């Protein structure tokens, strides 16, 4: 899919202006219950009052979620016009903006339109601005958000992996029809908008990489496959990559990570990807992603029902790869390191057993009371390894606990951080990218639940506050730097009929890094 921007000066728009351009469809927004404004008004003038007459007829009032598709409209160059209801101007915000785009995409899906002129990203003074952070919904936001929504609609499950497609007679999904999208913007915004297209594409590519990796079955997406993916990103975008195998992991004394991989035949990998976008002296942001390519629970075996979904237990790793690729593709002036401990969690004659005690890379000992609490075990050694980068901040991302889904459901990622500043940056980035998180507590009181009679700590804290105690476990390995933890168990994939990876939290993380790059 191709995206471009076109400066549109509404004061000059008319029959000889952009409305005369040939296109399969002109997509125009209209507010409810007020006189026409913006592009809708220009369209009305060019069509000798057609829009006004439609409103009078009562067939289209601009209600939120509504649309009207028109054909063969005289006086303009477009084959079709899609009017999209924006709802009441006073109630128009980022959610309504996204809903309008989704409504338009659903309507376009029923047509054969391939090339469209999209006027819904045109400047919208109605969108809330956040003065403290600068204009939150500036042209960059409108363009990036629009591209994200269009690419989301265009995503087809594992399109790049035809070997996995169903062999049935009919194709699994109707192919996405849009090929070329021209986003109109104000003339004064044109330059920023063009850069925003590059960024929007980079983010969408990162999100799609993350979705594809998540959706791949575990017999294909192995730790070795993740390592090869990292090498591929490094080659394409000129990053440094290092992959450590079992021998090197042993040499580093990552006893917690090794305890998890012990039962698996599939070799573990420890992936380090470096993007140096700023000077060598700038401390990097380190992203750590949980890469359990399949979580059976180990000897503390999970129940069989729905266990297939544990192929998604590497979505933290996938999102870290998607984010660093996006950052590299957009050429952000920032240093970022991605660290991915990856292995399978399997039961076998060589697997770790409940009650086993291991020594982590940090020297702290852990009593493994439940082998299904394996994410924190591979992450704690990766968090210790992260110290060597003298990071400005470390953010780990993990499908860590079922308890996080109980606490927050599928809308918000669980966010943990000691420092308010780092927490606020991530929360703000989440709100801006419509990929939200909710802050959870990290109080010392919870640490008591991790007490062990046989080691420095147990790897589980009992049923109460399961997501919190998992974060508290990780906190014990992060005292050398500013740290945040994202529990994405509820947000990384969808179950049921729409089963599939969501690509979250790539939008939040990329926004966070864009904000830090300034
Ligand atoms: N990968 C799971 C967490 C998970 C469960 C994510 C369901 C998404 C859906 C993790 O490794 C796990 O098994 N956690 C246990 C921890 C418990 C044993 C303390 C859990 O949440 O049940
Ligand atoms: Mn588990
Ligand atoms: Zn797991």
Residues 221-240 have a mean pLDDT of: 98
CA-nearest of 104, 189, 180, 178 to 142 is 189
Please count the other Cβ atoms lying within 10 Å of the Cβ belonging to residue 171.
10
Q: H or E element: which one contains 237?
A: helix 223-237
Residues 82-98 have a mean pLDDT of: 94
The residues, ordered by sequence, that sit 6+ positions from 306 with a Cβ below 8 Å of its Cβ are: 495
| Residue having the nearest C-alpha atom to atom 17 of ligand 1 | 373
- Distances in Å between the alpha carbon of 80 and those of 68, 70, 182? 10, 6, 15
| Residue having the nearest C-alpha atom to atom 8 of ligand 1 | 489
| Residue having the nearest C-alpha atom to atom 16 of ligand 1 | 373
Residues 71-80 have a mean pLDDT of: 95
Dist. CA 97 → ligand 3 center (Å): 36
- How far is Cα 148 from Cα 405, in angstroms, rounded to an integer? 25
Among the bound ligands, name the one nearest to the CA of residue 368. 1
| Residue having the nearest C-alpha atom to atom 22 of ligand 1 | 402
Of the listed ranges 45-49, 168-172, 400-404, the least confidently predicted one is 168-172
Residues 7-24 have a mean pLDDT of: 77
Among the bound ligands, name the one nearest to the CA of residue 309. 1
- 72 in the Ramachandran plot: left (φ > 0), alpha (ψ -120 to 50) or beta? left
Q: Could you tell me the two tokens for 373? A: 């609490």
In this predicted structure, the answer to whether residue 440 has a pLDDT above a threshold of 80 is yes
Dist. CA 403 → ligand 2 center (Å): 12
- How far is Cα 133 from Cα 236, in angstroms, rounded to an integer? 33
Give residue 18's pLDDT.
83
CA-nearest of 207, 240, 237, 403 to 318 is 207
**Nearest atom, ligand 1, residue 459 CA:** 19
Phi, psi of 367 (to 5 degrees): -95, 115
Query: Pairing state of beta strands 457-458 and 437-439?
Result: unpaired
Instruction: Give 89-150 as a DSSP string.
Output: GGG--HHHHHHHHHHHHHHHHTS---EEEE-TTS--TTS---GGGS-TTSHHHHHHHHHHHH
- How far is Cα 414 from Cα 494, in angstroms, rounded to an integer? 16
Indicate the average pLDDT of the chain: 94
The helix/strand count (H/E) of the chain reads as 14, 20
Among the bound ligands, name the one nearest to the CA of residue 293. 3
- How far is Cα 24 from Cα 182, in angstroms, rounded to an integer? 11
Note the pLDDT tens digit of each residue in 345-392: 999 999 999 999 999 999 999 999 999 999 999 999 999 999 999 999
Q: Which CATH architecture has domain 2-186?
A: 3-Layer(aba) Sandwich (3.40)
The count of residues in the chain is 518
Cα 445 to the center of its chain, rounded Å = 32
Buried b (16+ CB within 10 A) or exposed e, 276-311: bbeeeeeebbbbbbbbbbbbbbbbbebeeeeeeebb
- Give the 3-state secondary structure of residue 294: strand
Q: Which of 260, 402, 413 to mutate to test the pocket of ligand 1 (most atoms within 8 A of CB)?
A: 402
Give residue 135's pLDDT.
45
| Residue having the nearest C-alpha atom to atom 9 of ligand 1 | 402
- Which residue has 């921007």 as its token pair? 5
Give residue 133's pLDDT.
43
**pTM of full prediction above 0.85:** yes
Note the pLDDT tens digit of each residue in 134-177: 444 799 999 999 999 999 999 998 888 887 777 654 555 788 99
- How far is Cα 515 from Cα 518, in angstroms, rounded to an integer? 5
Dist. CA 372 → ligand 1 center (Å): 7
The residues placing their C-beta within 5 Å of ligand 2, an ion, are 295, 372, 374
Residue 290 DSSP code: -
Q: Which of 302, 307, 347, 372 to mutate to test the pocket of ligand 1 (most atoms within 8 A of CB)?
A: 372
Dist. CA 141 → ligand 2 center (Å): 37
The residues, ordered by sequence, that sit 6+ positions from 425 with a Cβ below 8 Å of its Cβ are: 512, 515, 516
Asked if omega into 505 is within 30° of 0 (cis), the reply is yes
Dist. CA 178 → ligand 3 center (Å): 38
**Nearest atom, ligand 1, residue 469 CA:** 19
The residues placing their C-beta within 5 Å of ligand 3, an ion, are 292, 295, 313, 375
CA-nearest of 202, 167, 155 to 3 is 202
**Nearest atom, ligand 1, residue 292 CA:** 1
**Nearest atom, ligand 1, residue 345 CA:** 11
Are 384 and 361 in contact by the 8 Å Cβ rule? The answer is yes
**Residues with catalytic roles:** 302, 376
**Nearest atom, ligand 1, residue 490 CA:** 8
Among the bound ligands, name the one nearest to the CA of residue 307. 1
Helix, strand, coil distribution of the chain in percent, nearest 5: 40, 20, 40
Dist. CA 430 → ligand 3 center (Å): 24
Query: pLDDT exceeding 90 applies to what percent of the chain?
Result: 88
Residues 243-251 have a mean pLDDT of: 98
- How far is Cα 6 from Cα 189, in angstroms, rounded to an integer? 10
Note the pLDDT tens digit of each residue in 268-311: 999 999 999 999 899 999 999 999 999 999 999 999 999 999 99
CATH of region 203-213+250-517: 3.40.630.10
- 355 in the Ramachandran plot: left (φ > 0), alpha (ψ -120 to 50) or beta? left
Please count the other Cβ atoms lying within 10 Å of the Cβ belonging to residue 396.
30
Dist. CA 423 → ligand 3 center (Å): 24
Among the bound ligands, name the one nearest to the CA of residue 400. 1
Dist. CA 375 → ligand 1 center (Å): 8
Residues 188-211 have a mean pLDDT of: 97
Dist. CA 333 → ligand 2 center (Å): 37
Q: How far apart are the first and last CA of the chain?
A: 28
* Domain spans of the chain, in order of start: 2-186, 203-213+250-517
Are 81 and 111 in contact by the 8 Å Cβ rule? The answer is no
CA-nearest of 204, 178, 344, 154 to 260 is 344
Query: pLDDT exceeding 70 applies to what percent of the chain?
Result: 95
| Residue having the nearest C-alpha atom to atom 7 of ligand 1 | 402
CA pseudo-torsion sign 289, 295, 299, 305: positive
Residues with CB under 6 A from ligand 1: 295, 313, 370, 372-375, 399-403, 460, 466, 489
**Nearest atom, ligand 1, residue 466 CA:** 19
Q: Which of 318, 401, 403 to mutate to test the pocket of ligand 1 (most atoms within 8 A of CB)?
A: 401
CA-nearest of 196, 177, 137, 153 to 5 is 196
In this predicted structure, the answer to whether residue 336 has a pLDDT above a threshold of 60 is yes
Query: Pairing state of beta strands 365-368 and 356-359?
Result: antiparallel
| Residue having the nearest C-alpha atom to atom 6 of ligand 1 | 489
Instruction: Give 136-192 as a DSSP string.
Output: TTSHHHHHHHHHHHHHHHH--TTTT-GGGS--SSS-SSPPP---EEEEEE-GGGHHH
- Give the model's confidence band at 17: pLDDT under 50 very low, under 70 low, under 90 confident, else very high: confident
**Nearest atom, ligand 1, residue 300 CA:** 18
């Amino acid at each position: 899919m191709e995206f471009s921007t076109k400066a549109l000066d509404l004061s000059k728009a008319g029959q000889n202006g952009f409305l005369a351009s040939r296109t399969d469809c002109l997509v125009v927004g209209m507010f409810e219950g007020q006189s026409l404004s913006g592009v809708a008004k220009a369209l009305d003038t060019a069509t000798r009052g057609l829009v006004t007459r439609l409103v009078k007829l009562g067939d289209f009032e601009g209600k939120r979620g509504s649309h009207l598709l028109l054909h063969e409209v005289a006086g303009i160059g477009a084959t079709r016009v899609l009017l999209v209801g924006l709802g009441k101007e006073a109630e128009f915000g980022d959610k309504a903006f996204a809903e309008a785009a989704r409504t338009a995409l659903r309507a376009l899906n029923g047509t054969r339109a391939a090339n469209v002129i999209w006027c819904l990203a045109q400047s919208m003074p109605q969108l809330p601005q956040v003065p403290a952070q600068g204009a939150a919904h500036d042209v960059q936001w409108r363009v990036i958000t629009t591209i994200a929504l269009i690419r989301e609609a265009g995503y087809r499950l594992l399109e790049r992996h035809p070997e996995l497609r169903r062999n049935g007679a009919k194709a699994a999904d109707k192919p996405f029809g849009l090929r070329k999208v021209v986003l109109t913007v104000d003339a004064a915004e044109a330059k920023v908008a063009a850069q925003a297209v590059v960024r929007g594409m980079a983010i969408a590519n990162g999100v799609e990489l993350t979705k594809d990796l998540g959706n791949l079955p575990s017999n294909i997406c192995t730790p070795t496959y993740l390592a090869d993916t990292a090498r591929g990103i490094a080659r394409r975008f000129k990053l440094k990559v290092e992959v450590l195998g079992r021998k090197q992991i042993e040499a580093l004394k990552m006893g917690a990570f090794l305890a998890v991989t012990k039962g698996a035949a599939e070799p573990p990998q420890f992936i380090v990807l470096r993007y140096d976008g700023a000077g060598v002296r700038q401390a990097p942001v380190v992203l750590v992603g949980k890469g359990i390519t399949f979580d059976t629970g180990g000897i503390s075996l999970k129940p069989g029902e729905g266990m297939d979904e544990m192929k998604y237990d590497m979505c933290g790793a996938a999102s870290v790869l998607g984010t660093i690729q996006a950052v590299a593709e957009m050429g952000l002036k920032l240093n970022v390191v991605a660290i991915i401990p990856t292995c399978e969690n399997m039961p076998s004659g060589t697997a770790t057993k409940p009650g086993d005690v291991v020594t982590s890379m940090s020297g702290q000992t852990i009593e493994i009371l439940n082998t299904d609490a394996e994410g924190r075990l591979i992450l704690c050694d990766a968090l210790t390894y992260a110290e060597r980068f003298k990071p400005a901040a470390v953010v780990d991302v993990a499908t860590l606990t079922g308890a996080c889904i109980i606490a927050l459901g599928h809308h918000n990622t669980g966010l943990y951080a000691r420092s308010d500043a780092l927490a606020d940056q991530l929360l703000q980035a989440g709100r801006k990218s419509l990929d939200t998180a909710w802050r959870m507590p990290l109080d010392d009181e919870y640490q008591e639940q991790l007490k062990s009679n046989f080691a420095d700590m147990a790897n589980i804290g009992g049923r109460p506050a399961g997501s919190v105690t998992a974060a508290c476990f990780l906190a014990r390995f992060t005292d050398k730097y500013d740290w945040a933890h994202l529990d994405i168990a509820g947000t990384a994939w969808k179950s049921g009929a729409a089963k599939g990876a969501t690509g979250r939290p790539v939008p939040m993380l990329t926004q966070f890094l864009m904000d830090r790059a300034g």
